[in-house]
Structure 1
Amino acid sequence: MPYVEVSLPVRAERSEIYPILKEMEKYPEFMADLVSVEVVERKENSTITKWVSNVDGRIIKWTEVDLFDDANMHISYKQIDGDLKKFEGEWILTPVADGTEIKLTVDFEFGIPMIAGLLNPILKKKVRDNSLNMLTAIKERMENRA
């Protein structure tokens, strides 16, 4: 099962970044690969969200549950329905000297064993690129505030 972990330092405090991460429905405004994110259900410490992503012309759809640990400014997510057999991970915010390191982990499984060996390396690269694009978009949004 492919696992991807990307991180990027951002010149902003965790307390400034965390609320942006929690507003997933706004991600498509500044993340080019996302077509839409719809909040289906919002509770005090969780949401259920429907995602549509365009990866190199391929539409990938999934629904996930997002769990928010506000005290630790940590988000975990797990697909509950969608195109992949498994899709889960977390957002981790760690204070560093000049701001915050944002780390995004993605653990996924394509779900077709016979072609997984062929597709997993390609998908892993696409997920890594997409994840890094997400972090870069957040970094640019945080560091280019007026």
Structure 2
Amino acid sequence: MRSAHLTVRVDDIDPGTAFDRIKDFSRYPELSDVVRSVTVHEVTDDEESSDWEVYFRNGILTWSEADRFDRDALRISFSQLDGDFADFSGTWQITPDADGCLVAFTAEFDFGIPSLAGILDPVAERVLKETIARVVVSLFETAAVVGDDTLARAVAAAPVAAGGR
């Protein structure tokens, strides 16, 4: 199983506001050209399901996931219900930091094709990290990737999405 981790620092935004913006998955297609569509099905205030289509290599990855929101803990967890991955799950964790907050994203995934894992997994990890970082940077004017200089440079080189902030 492959994992992807990234952290983005957001200055001048309180963690609760960051949580509310991040959990609005239906906005993600306007924040990244990699995200083709997200359809959200609200279940309760603390739980929903969502259907995703994301451009990947020469095709489209699709999946449905269960999303759980814990506002008190500023934590969002998700797990695939059905889709192109053999397994896909992860978390968003927002924590206070100086005059803002840190947004940590972690995902674990497996395509279920061991013979292609060496080729697909590194590409999927890079695309996932770049896409999530661009979404968060598009959501907040004062956001910057921390702890991963290569990712920070890739995100800085891309224009901010038109629908951001």
When the two structures are superposed, what TM-score results if normalisation uses the length of structure 1?
0.88
Q: Is the 8 A contact 1:7 1:135 kept in 2?
A: no
1:10-31 Cα shifts (integer Å, max 9, x gaps): 1211111111122211221222
SS in 1 for 2:140: helix
Q: How does 1:104-119 map to 2 (within 5 A)?
A: 104-119=105-120
Structure 1 residues 46 and 57: CA distance shift in structure 2, 3 A: same
Which residue of the partner structure matches residue 135 of structure 2? 134
Per-residue deviation, 1:56:
4.2
- Alpha-carbon RMSD across the aligned residues, in angstroms, is 2.1
Query: Deviation digits for residues 83-103 of structure 1, max 9, x if unmatched?
Result: 111111001101111201111
What does 1:63-142 align with in structure 2 at a 5 Å threshold? 63-140=64-141
1:85 and 1:134 map into 2 onto residues whose CA distance is 25
Quick one: percent identity of the two aligned structures? 30
Instruction: Give structure 2 stretches of 5+ with no counterpart.
Output: 144-163
How big is the shift at 1:128?
2.2
Corresponding residue number in structure 2 for 1:62: 63
Residue matched to 1:22: 23
Q: One-letter code of the match for 1:35?
A: R
Contact 2:5/2:105 (8 A) holds in 1: yes
1:68-114 Cα offsets, whole Å, 9 max, x none, are 10111210000110111111100110111120111111110011112
Q: Report the counterpart of residue 36 of structure 1 in structure 2.
A: 37
Measured after TM superposition, the shift of residue 7 of structure 1 is 0.6
How far does the alpha carbon of each residue in 1:116-146 deviate from its partner, in whole angstroms, 9 at most, with x for none? Answer: 133222222222222222222223388x86x
> Do 1:64 and 1:81's aligned partners in 2 also have CA atoms closer than 8 Å?
yes
Unaligned runs of 5+ in 1: none
- Residues 85 and 140 from structure 1, CA distance in 2 versus in 1: closer, same or farther, beyond 3 angstroms? farther
Shift of 1:57: 4.2
Q: Return closer, same or farther for 1:2/1:68 CA change in 2, 3 Å cut-off.
A: same
